[in-house]
Amino acid sequence: MLLVSTAMYGAHAPLLALCHVDGRVPFRPSSAVLLTELTKLLLCAFSLLVGWQAWPQGTPPWRQAAPFALSALLYGASNNLVIYLQRYMDPSTYQVLSNLKIGSTALFYCLCLRHRLSARQGLALLLLMAAGACYAAGGLQDPGNTLPGPPSAAAAGPIPLHISPLGLLLLILYCLISGLSSVYTELLMKRQRLPLALQNLFLYTFGVLLNLGLHAGGGPGPGLLEGFSGWAALVVLSQALNGLLMSAVMKHGSSITRLFVVSCSLVVNAMLSAALLQLQLTAAFFLATLLIGLAVRLYYGSR
């Protein structure tokens, strides 16, 4: 399950690149997010209806659904902050500094779940942050462009590195919300004695309502399914399945395990980008891969 989730995370960016028409995504991002949440909700409802997971006996525990509203709100705030952050910094700066959410997740993991990390485990998470920053700074390169940074930025021309004071504050807020949303959801799922499918049903119901409101309030633009292709449908389906897999990881594993899945997916992302988008792997990619391997060994290896 972890391997499948890692592959899906890594395939997201290359699949999204294959959706481009004339260098841009032809559909509204809010449409993709809304359809992803709706697909998760339908899959959870289907699993309960066909009996893959048993419905709890007695009165349906609707009161236990309320805490998931905060979880959906945190995820929604995190997803939308990513969009606004781009106004106050360049893409390379964002990709490097956003790795600070690894540290914020570990902080909330220790505070909220009262787990103590050893010095060895702390060092492993620092290596994960370094690996993410290293990969974002230049793990892939367009053969026809020698500019540093992500290929998309390089293809558009040299963009000076910059971040405004407001952008820095928003980035810190984003990292804190991202870490809190993951740990809070893990805490809910582990404390409630409910089937995972039912907990996901609660979470994604609120998620659909929230994203429906955001989509409707986003102003004029393409329709809900306008611009969608087979590749776009595959992006939505893979993201929905990956979300369900991640909820299982957080219920039976931890938010820290999720961090390692996301970091390991960088390797899959790079390999698929090189194969499908004709991008070159650089020395920074191999260094990032080495750092991820060391981090996994330090955190999960024998003491």
Q: How many CB atoms lie within 10 A of CB 65?
A: 18
Q: What is the pLDDT of residue 150?
A: 53
Q: Can you give the pTM of this predicted structure?
A: 0.81
Q: What is the pLDDT of residue 82?
A: 78
Q: What is the pLDDT of residue 151?
A: 55
pLDDT in tens, 62-86: 788 899 999 999 988 887 787 777 6
Q: Is residue 105 situated within a structural domain?
A: yes
Q: Is residue 108 situated within a structural domain?
A: yes
Q: Is residue 196 situated within a structural domain?
A: yes
The answer to whether residue 156 scores a pLDDT higher than 50 is no
256: CB partners within 8 A, 6+ apart = 105, 106, 109, 125, 299
The answer to which of 31-40, 217-226, 281-290 has the lowest mean pLDDT is 217-226
Q: Is residue 146 situated within a structural domain?
A: no
pLDDT grade for 157, boundaries at 50, 70 and 90: very low
Distance CA 299, CA 106 (A): 13
Distance CA 14, CA 214 (A): 26
For tokens 């659909």, name the residue. Answer: 208
**Span 232-237, average pLDDT:** 89
Q: Is residue 38 situated within a structural domain?
A: yes
- What domain range includes position 241? 1-19+29-51+61-141+160-219+237-301
Distance CA 138, CA 150 (A): 6
Q: Is residue 166 situated within a structural domain?
A: yes
Q: Is residue 231 situated within a structural domain?
A: no
Total number of domains in the chain: 1
**Span 177-182, average pLDDT:** 93
Q: What is the pLDDT of residue 127?
A: 94
- Average of per-residue pLDDT values in the chain: 83
Q: What is the pLDDT of residue 187?
A: 93
pLDDT in tens, 240-298: 998 899 899 888 889 999 899 988 888 888 888 888 778 788 888 899 999 999 999 99
Q: Is residue 24 situated within a structural domain?
A: no
Residue of 213, 251, 203 whose CA lies nearest to 66? 203
**Span 165-188, average pLDDT:** 92
The answer to whether residue 55 scores a pLDDT higher than 70 is no
